[in-house]
Structure 1
Amino acid sequence: MNKVITTDQYHRDDRLLAWADQVRASCVPMVFRTESNQGFRGEISSVNTGEVCVSRIAAVDHIAAHDWEEVRRTADDYLLVSIQVEGRGAIEQDARTAFVAPTDMVLFDSSRNFVWHFSGTHYTIRFPRKALQNLVPCGRQHTAVTIPAATGLRKIAADHIATLHRELSLDNGTVACRARLTDVTANLVALALADYFNTIALPNSNVKEMHLLRARTLIKDRIHEPELGPEQIADELGVSSRYLYRLFAEVGESIGEIICTTRLNGCAEWLQQRAFANRSITDIAMVWGFNNASHFSRTFRRHFGMSARDYRAKYRDAV
Structure 2
Amino acid sequence: MKKLTTTDHYSSDDRLLAWADQVRTSCVPMVFRTDSEQGFRGEICSVETDGMCFSRIAAVDHVAIHDWEEVRRTADDYLLVSIQINGKGAIEQDARTAFVGPADMVLFDSSRHFVWHFSGEQYTIRFPRKALEKLVPCGRQQTAVKIPAAAGIRRIAADHVASLHRELSSDNGNDAACAKLGDITASLVAMAIGDYFNTVPLPRSNVKEMHLLRARALIRDRIREPELGPEQIAAELGVSSRYLYRLFAEVGESIGDIICTTRLNGCGDWLQQRAYLHLSITDIAMTWGFNSASHFSRAFRRHFEMSARDYRAQHHEAS
- TM-score (norm: length of structure 1): 0.65
| In the alignment, structure 1 residue 222 sits paired with structure 2 residue 222 | no
Q: Does residue 186 of structure 2 align to residue 174 of structure 1?
A: no
What is the correspondence of 1:215-254 to structure 2 with a 5 Å cutoff?
A: 221-222=203-204, 228=208, 230-232=210-212
In 2, Cα distance between the equivalents of 1:182 and 1:231? 33
Tell me what 2:39 maps to: 39
Structure 2 stretches of 5 or more lacking a match? 217-242, 248-319
Contact 2:164–2:178 (8 Å) recurs in 1: no
Identical-residue share of aligned pairs (%): 70
Query: In structure 1, what residue type is equivalent to 2:101?
Result: A
Q: Report the Cα distance in structure 2 between the residues aligned to 1:119 and 1:235, rounded to whole angstroms.
A: 37
- Tell me the secondary structure at the aligned position of residue 140 of structure 1: coil
2:106 is the counterpart of 1:106: yes
Bigger shift: 30-39 or 166-175? Answer: 166-175
CA contact (8 A) 1:48 1:178 kept: no
- Secondary structure in 1 matching 2:35: coil
1:56-135 matches, within 5 Å, as 56-135=56-135
Deviation at 1:173, TM superposition (A): 2.7
Aligned counterparts of 2:6 and 2:20: Cα–Cα separation in 1: 12
Give 2:29's aligned residue.
Answer: 29
Q: Deviations over 1:273-316 (max 9, x none)?
A: xxxxxxxxxxxx99x99xxxxxxxxxxxxxxxxxxxxxxxxxxx
Cα distance change, pair 135–235 in 1 and its aligned pair in 2 (3 A):
farther
Residues matched between the structures, number: 226
Q: Deviations over 1:77-108 (max 9, x none)?
A: 00000000010010000000000000000000
Report the Cα distance in structure 2 between the residues aligned to 1:229 and 1:17, rounded to whole angstroms.
40
Larger Rg: 1
Distance 1:174 1:229, change over 3 A: closer
1:122 Cα deviation from its structure 2 partner: 0.3
Distance 1:132 1:235, change over 3 A: farther
Q: Tell me how large the CA RMSD over aligned residues is.
A: 3.2
CA distance in 1, matches of 2:179, 2:215: 29
* CA distance in 1: counterparts of 2:214 and 2:133, whole angstroms: 12
Q: 2:225 maps to what in 1?
A: none
Change (3 A) 1:163 1:178: closer
CA offsets 1:3-42 (integer angstroms, 9 cap, x no match): 1111111111111111100100000000000011221001
CA distance in 1, matches of 2:54, 2:150: 20
Deviation at 1:49, TM superposition (A): 1.5
Q: Using a 3 Å threshold, how does the CA distance of structure 1 residues 234 and 177 change in structure 2: closer, same or farther? A: farther
Residues 79 and 109 of structure 2 are in contact (CA less than 8 Å); yes or no, is this contact kept in structure 1? yes
C-alpha displacement at 1:171, in angstroms?
3.7
* TM, length-normalised to structure 2: 0.65
Which 4+ stretches in 1 moved above 4 angstroms? 233-236
Gaps of at least 5 residues in structure 1 are 200-213, 237-284, 290-319
